[in-house]
Structure 1
Amino acid sequence: MSPRRPAWPGHAGAIPLVSPLQPSVVYRSADPDALDAQYASGAGYTYAREGHPNADVLAGLIDGMEGADGGFVTGSGMAAISAMFLGLLRAGDHVVGADQLYGRTLRMMNAELPRLGIDTTLADVTDAAAIRAAIRPETKLVVVEVVSNPTIRIADMEGIVAATREAGVLLAVDNTFTTPALYRPLAEGADIVIHSVTKLLSGHSDTTLGYVAARDPALTRAMWEANETWGLTPSPFDCWLAERGMMSFELRLARAEANAEALAEALTGMPGVRRVLWPGRADHPDHNRAMAVLGGRGGNMLSFEVEGGREAANALVRGAEGIAFAPTLGDVSTTLSHPASSSHRAVPAEARARVGISEGFFRVSVGIEPPEDLIAAFRRGVEAASAAAARGGAG
Structure 2
Amino acid sequence: MTDPRTTVRRTDWPQGGSTPLVTPLQPSVVYRSRDPDELDAQYSEGSAFTYAREGHPNAEVLARKIDALEGARDGFVTGSGMSAVGAMFLGLLSAGDHVVGADQLYGRSLRMMRQDLPRLGIETTLADATDVESVRRALRPETRLILVEVVSNPTIRVADMERIAALAKEAGVLLAVDNTFTTPRLFQPLAQGADIVIHSVTKLLAGHSDATLGYVGAKDPKLAAKMMEANVTFGLTASPFDCWLAERGMQSFDLRLDKAEANARALGDALAEMEGMRRVLYPGRPDHPDHNRAQALLNGRGGNMLSFEIEGGRAAANALARAAEGIAFAPTLGDVGTTLSHPNSSSHRLVPEEDRKAVGISEGFFRVSVGVEPADLLIEEFGAAVAAARAVRD
**Into which bin does the TM-score normalised by the smaller protein fall?**
over 0.9
Letter of the 2:246 partner, please give it: A
Contact 2:146 2:176 in 1 (8 A): yes
Q: Distance in 2 between matches of 1:181 and 1:84?
A: 23
* Superposed CA offset, 1:140-185 (max 9, x none): 0000000000010000001100111110000000000000000000
Q: Distance in 2 between matches of 1:199 and 1:324?
A: 15
Q: State the match for 1:180 in structure 2.
A: 184
Q: Distance in 2 between matches of 1:20 and 1:43?
A: 20
Q: State the match for 1:275 in structure 2.
A: 279
Q: For residues 143-222 of structure 1, what are the structure 2 equivalents within 5 Å?
A: 143-222=147-226
Q: State the match for 1:140 in structure 2.
A: 144
Q: State the match for 1:327 in structure 2.
A: 331
Q: Distance in 1 between matches of 2:334 and 2:17?
A: 37
**Is 1:371 matched up with 2:361?**
no
Q: For residues 294-305 of structure 1, what are the structure 2 equivalents within 5 Å?
A: 294-305=298-309
Q: Distance in 2 between matches of 1:13 and 1:43?
A: 24
Q: State the match for 2:128 in structure 1.
A: 124
Q: Distance in 2 between matches of 1:382 and 1:246?
A: 33
Letter of the 2:206 partner, please give it: S
1:15 positional shift: 2.3
Q: For residues 234-273 of structure 1, what are the structure 2 equivalents within 5 Å?
A: 234-273=238-277
**Is 1:32 matched up with 2:28?**
no
1:86 to 90, 93, 113: 90
1:13 positional shift: 4.2
Letter of the 1:370 partner, please give it: P
Q: What SS is found at the alignment partner of 1:266?
A: helix
Q: State the match for 1:102 in structure 2.
A: 106
Moved segments of 4+, more than 6 Å = none
2:320 to 316, 321, 338: 316
Q: State the match for 1:352 in structure 2.
A: 356
2:310 to 306, 313, 317: 306
Question: What's the RMSD between the two structures over aligned residues?
Answer: 0.8
Letter of the 1:367 partner, please give it: G
Q: Distance in 2 between matches of 1:281 and 1:80?
A: 31
Contact 2:276 2:311 in 1 (8 A): yes
Letter of the 2:27 partner, please give it: P
Contact 2:338 2:371 in 1 (8 A): yes
Unaligned runs of 5+ in 2: 1-14
Q: Distance in 1 between matches of 2:29 and 2:262?
A: 42
Q: State the match for 1:393 in structure 2.
A: none
Q: Distance in 1 between matches of 2:170 and 2:18?
A: 52
Q: State the match for 2:4 in structure 1.
A: none
TM-score for both structures, normalised by structure 2: 0.96
1:12 positional shift: 8.2
Contact 2:73 2:220 in 1 (8 A): no
Contact 2:271 2:277 in 1 (8 A): yes
TM-score for both structures, normalised by structure 1: 0.95
Q: Distance in 2 between matches of 1:109 and 1:353?
A: 19
Letter of the 1:269 partner, please give it: E
**Is 1:293 matched up with 2:294?**
no
Letter of the 2:26 partner, please give it: Q
1:217 positional shift: 1.0
Q: Distance in 2 between matches of 1:207 and 1:165?
A: 35
Contact 2:158 2:290 in 1 (8 A): yes
Q: Distance in 2 between matches of 1:12 and 1:303?
A: 53
Q: What SS is found at the alignment partner of 1:247?
A: helix
1:133 positional shift: 1.1
**Is 1:337 matched up with 2:353?**
no
Q: Distance in 2 between matches of 1:15 and 1:223?
A: 33
**Is 1:56 matched up with 2:39?**
no
2:45 to 41, 60, 78: 41
Letter of the 1:16 partner, please give it: P
1:389 to 378, 385, 393: 393
Q: Distance in 2 between matches of 1:113 and 1:175?
A: 21
Q: What SS is found at the alignment partner of 1:137?
A: coil
1:248 positional shift: 0.1
* Change beyond 3 A, Cα 1:314–1:217: same
Q: Distance in 2 between matches of 1:216 and 1:181?
A: 22
